[in-house]
Chain A
Amino acid sequence: MSLLHMAILLPFLYAAALTVMRKPSLRFHTGWIILPIPVLLFVYFISCMASVQAGEELSGSIPWIPSLNIRFTVFLDGLGLLFSLLISGIGSLVVLYSIYYLDRKKEALRNFYVYLLLFMGAMLGVVLADNLIILYGFWEITSISSFLLIAFWHNREKSRYGALKSMLITVLGGLAMLAGFVLFYIMTGTFSLREIINNAGSVNDHTLFLPALVLILLGAFTKSAQFPFHIWLPDAMEAPTPVSAYLHSATMVKAGLYLVARFSPVFAGEALWFWLISVCGIVTLIYGSFQALKQTDLKAILAFSTISQLGLIMSLLGLGSAAAFYTDGSDSVFYAKATMAAIFHLINHAVFKGALFMVVGIVDHETGTRDIRKLGGLLSIMPITFTIAVIGTFSMAGLPPFNGFLSKEMFFTAVLGITELDRFDSQTLLRLFPVLAWVASVFTFGYSMMVVFRTFTGRPQFEQLEKKPHEAPIGLLLSPVVLAALAVVFGLFPNLLSYTLIEPAMAAIHPALLLPGDRFYVSIHMWHGWTPELFMTMGVAVAGMLIYKLHPRLSVLHEPLFRRVSLNLTYDAGIKLLHQGSLRMTNRYMTGSLRHYVIYIFVFLILSLGWGLYHYGAISVNMDRFAPVSLYEIVINLVLILSVIAIPFVNSRMKAIILTGAAGYMVTLFFVIFRAPDLALTQMIVETVSVALFLLCFYHLPKLEKEQTKPRTRIVKLAISAGVGVIMTLVALSASGSKLFESISDYYLRNSYVLAGGKNVVNVILVDFRGFDTMLEIVVLGIASLGVYALIRLNLASDRPEAVRKL
């Protein structure tokens, strides 16, 4: 048990303690007793920084299911550390923020913090796990706790809808990912991530390699809300704002990015990997940023903005994987810079998006609405919130001197650089990347300006608001202030991050580029000269401003993108189709009619036996060993057949019963002829008693009505029964014609008297050789007679309907 294990399990243990604790009659907010946990974790991970930077890997292992090769192994490298710091750091700020955001008396706080702690622990587990199965387990716990958090206000219809949607989509991806992991186990024989990464390249030619790649990417894309799986994220905005800030901007949606980055060393050499990630990322980027322009709800804008920024990071990770196509060091380093941009932007996005969500939460909290059509002119009332919003949005738009500016410049560098890629003969497609990136940045600029200026400037319309707006309390402002300050600090001193976090993370993503003992040298500068990227940014600012100004007049921005077909409609229709389709299918064959079910059974019997007989050529009639026929037997046979065939045609119960009895007596005669005296005796008695029983109840039975059936039904019945009859005849003939081995009955005949002292062999078999059967048969009779007795005597008057009682 290492400290890392403790770090992962601490939130879980604390959540469990919180659950079993008697409801505390706290005078203060429950959040205060939660806050130490993420702070403690943050401090711990900070203290690990130095050793990770030096290239040491902290790890620990606890056997869990050793026989299946599953161990609870954890390790901390640059990538894990980066994510752990994000999770614990932003987690602390979010807990602090939630203390002021959620009302102590009105909300079910204990539930909230239990879910949040579960999520935090699971997220740490995802980024620190070495065993793929452990990783998957924690991955699903993040899905479940996210589900619980989205539906925190579970009496709202929309919350439940959003929670279910996100659950279905992320769990679908999670299962695909599990399948990918299992494929890896088949290929490599290990679940250990580090072993797989260290042996990267050994399984590239395996037939399961590409399926595993696609399946794992499916998990990453659904979790990170990539196009077209992004649809759950906007609906997840029904969650309380601290949850949106934490899960749906800073941490959970980055789990997919983590997965992609983590598997990069394994997959990066694959062209499919490069194309899937880069193209999907860039499509998500431009789609998300365009959709964000169309929203009127602040949180919805931020949700689509998150989608587009995740697409940006995803595409950067894809472009960075181009480094693996080159063996030459300098070329590789050139493309690896995209990865550096991805990591840098990942940090930046978590910082400014967290701040922006908190700002929106404050606005919502203090005015009662998030609709930008109702907001405006809050600048003079909420100056501090405005300042934070300006920093956050300018950073998101990519304006100096904030951190978003730097990562946007690096993004442009990467997309411009990728056009140099000469590996795939697809220069036109690659040349589209800078164009798309630039357009998406213009959109980003546009909606960023909308978020800040529509809310805080313009004409005040306070009469439309539910509450009288005022500046937020200091506690609510604390967390976003910290994040905004970080956005400025990272902007002005970017190298603060590069030595401590980015270089080790680079080393984890591109282990092949480093010689042992070597490290990346990352240096980011605010001013990098008059480069094309700078002019692109200027163009973005101008065009973005134009879009913002023209926004109210551009009708295309206010109409749904596609009225008829949209992804949400497809999802809803798909769910509905699935539901109704299965219902219809079940109703179709589960009719409730016994006859239909019997038909299914007999049809299956005919088809399976018939196919079997035909397929194995088993139909053979070998008459050599058949017994000779006498006239007497023929007559009995004929009587039996005639009386049996007559039964369906008679319309009186009496006749039917007597004909059945006649058939039984013919069977008795057969037993006599075929030398079975005991059988004949028994059959005769049983037949007599049965007929007597039938006749005894005869008086009470309903009159046998003539079957009113349609000719079609009768033909179906006839066909099925004829089929069964023919099949059984064929089976009987084929089986009696061939004898594979001698019967064991010789033993009984020889030993009946010697061993058991009886000369009636059948009786000796029944009570001596195979007495067990007889005992249980007696039990059957006993149970049947008890059942009959109970049925007749037990008369619960209450379940007899009024009409029937008169009968």
Chain B
Amino acid sequence: MELYMSMSVGVLFMVGVYLILSKSLLRIILGTSLLTHGVHLLLLTMSRLKTGAAPLLGEGANSYVDPLPQALILTSIVISFGVTSLFFVLAYQAYRKLGTDNMDLLRGKEDE
């Protein structure tokens, strides 16, 4: 299973990077959220898949999956959500003030 997961991660990274290289700000934001998904799946895959029950001790199972990466991913999900929403509102405001979301036109001033 890890093989397929790694390939999915690769695809997520590839499309994420491709979107980040676009001109449109909206595409860039979508690209970053795809990258986030890729990272989360990568973290999960790295900890070995399906080695036991969910890490709930009430299950009474013999072995459990690794709980540590899950905690890390959970933290990461929340942080990336915060960042994405801020980024999103930033893009919205930038568009409202500057009238474009084309990255080629958002270049700052000369001699800056």
Chain A contacts to B: CB under 8 angstroms: 592-595, 598-599, 602, 621, 623, 625-629, 633-634, 637, 640-641, 644-645, 647-648, 653, 656-657, 660, 663-664, 667, 670-671, 673-679, 682-683, 686, 689-690, 693-694, 697, 700-702, 704-705, 707, 709, 717-718, 720-722, 724-726, 728-729, 732-733, 735-736, 739, 743-745, 748-749, 752-753, 759-762, 765-766, 770, 773-774, 777, 780-781, 783-785, 787-788, 791-792, 799-801, 803-804, 807
Interface bits B1-42 vs A (CB < 8 Å: 1, else 0):
111111111111111111111111011001001100110111
Q: Which residue of A lies closest to B92 (CB)?
A: A697
Q: How big is chain B's contact interface, by range?
A: 35 or more
Interface bits B67-100 vs A (CB < 8 Å: 1, else 0):
1101101110111011111101111110111111
Contact B92 A700, beta carbon cutoff 8 Å? yes
Task: Say yes or no: A593-B104 contact (C-beta < 8 A), given A677-B56, A724-B13, A766-B74.
Answer: yes
Q: Which residue of A lies closest to B72 (CB)?
A: A773
Contact A743 B55, beta carbon cutoff 8 Å? no
Q: Which of B82, B89, B106 is packed against the most chain A CB atoms within 10 Å?
A: B82
Contact A682 B24, beta carbon cutoff 8 Å? no
Contact A664 B99, beta carbon cutoff 8 Å? no
Chain B residues near A720 (CB-CB < 8 A) = 17, 21
B17, B46, B53, B90: the one contacting A736 at CB < 8 Å is: B46
B9, B26, B65, B68: the one contacting A729 at CB < 8 Å is: B9
Contact B6 A729, beta carbon cutoff 8 Å? yes
Chain A residues near B57 (CB-CB < 8 A) = 749, 752-753, 759-761
A726, A732, A788: the one contacting B86 at CB < 8 Å is: A788
Contact A721 B66, beta carbon cutoff 8 Å? no
User: Roughly how many angstroms separate A761 CA and B53 CA in the complex, as a whole number?
Assistant: 12
Whole-angstrom distance between the Cβ of A759 and the nearest chain B Cβ: 4
Chain B residues near A664 (CB-CB < 8 A) = 33, 37
Chain B contacts to A: CB under 8 angstroms: 1-24, 26-27, 30, 33-34, 37-38, 40-42, 44-58, 64-68, 70-71, 73-75, 77-79, 81-86, 88-93, 95-101, 103-104, 106-108
Contact A627 B99, beta carbon cutoff 8 Å? no
Contact B14 A725, beta carbon cutoff 8 Å? yes
Contact B18 A693, beta carbon cutoff 8 Å? no
Whole-angstrom distance between the Cβ of B59 and the nearest chain A Cβ: 9
User: Roughly how many angstroms separate A748 CA and B66 CA in the complex, as a whole number?
Assistant: 9
B54, B71, B84: the one contacting A675 at CB < 8 Å is: B54
B1, B17, B46: the one contacting A721 at CB < 8 Å is: B17
User: Roughly how many angstroms separate A470 CA and B112 CA in the complex, as a whole number?
Assistant: 58
User: Roughly how many angstroms separate A701 CA and B96 CA in the complex, as a whole number?
Assistant: 9
Task: Say yes or no: A760-B55 contact (C-beta < 8 A), given A679-B73, A804-B98.
Answer: yes
Contact B50 A675, beta carbon cutoff 8 Å? yes
Q: Which of B4, B14, B57, B103 is packed against the most chain A CB atoms within 10 Å?
A: B14
CB pairs A–B below 8 angstroms (12 shown):
A637-B4, A637-B7, A667-B37, A674-B50, A701-B101, A702-B24, A725-B17, A729-B7, A732-B45, A749-B64, A781-B81, A785-B82
Whole-angstrom distance between the Cβ of A425 and the nearest chain B Cβ: 62
Q: Which residue of B lies closest to A656 (CB)?
A: B30
Q: Which residue of A lies closest to B98 (CB)?
A: A804
Whole-angstrom distance between the Cβ of B87 and the nearest chain A Cβ: 9
A598, A686, A733: the one contacting B21 at CB < 8 Å is: A598
User: Roughly how many angstroms separate A682 CA and B70 CA in the complex, as a whole number?
Assistant: 11
Task: Say yes or no: A704-B26 contact (C-beta < 8 A), given A732-B42, A733-B6.
Answer: yes
Chain A residues near B9 (CB-CB < 8 A) = 728-729, 732
Task: Say yes or no: A674-B6 contact (C-beta < 8 A), given A704-B27, A725-B14.
Answer: no
Chain B residues near A677 (CB-CB < 8 A) = 54, 56
Contact B1 A724, beta carbon cutoff 8 Å? no
Q: Which residue of A lies closest to B57 (CB)?
A: A759
A-B contact sample (9 more), CB < 8 A, given A656-B26, A732-B5, A766-B71: A641-B11, A645-B15, A656-B27, A701-B26, A726-B14, A728-B38, A735-B46, A749-B55, A774-B75
Chain B residues near A724 (CB-CB < 8 A) = 13-14, 17
Chain A residues near B65 (CB-CB < 8 A) = 674-676
Q: Which residue of B lies closest to A653 (CB)?
A: B26
Q: Which of B3, B40, B96 is packed against the most chain A CB atoms within 10 Å?
A: B3
Whole-angstrom distance between the Cβ of A339 and the nearest chain B Cβ: 57
User: Roughly how many angstroms separate A686 CA and B27 CA in the complex, as a whole number?
Assistant: 19
Contact A683 B77, beta carbon cutoff 8 Å? yes
Q: Which residue of B lies closest to A648 (CB)?
A: B18
Contact B67 A748, beta carbon cutoff 8 Å? yes
Contact B4 A629, beta carbon cutoff 8 Å? yes
Whole-angstrom distance between the Cβ of A527 and the nearest chain B Cβ: 72
Contact A792 B93, beta carbon cutoff 8 Å? yes
User: Roughly how many angstroms separate A663 CA and B32 CA in the complex, as a whole number?
Assistant: 13
Task: Say yes or no: A678-B103 contact (C-beta < 8 A), given A626-B1, A670-B41, A700-B96.
Answer: no
Chain B residues near A803 (CB-CB < 8 A) = 99
Contact B18 A728, beta carbon cutoff 8 Å? no
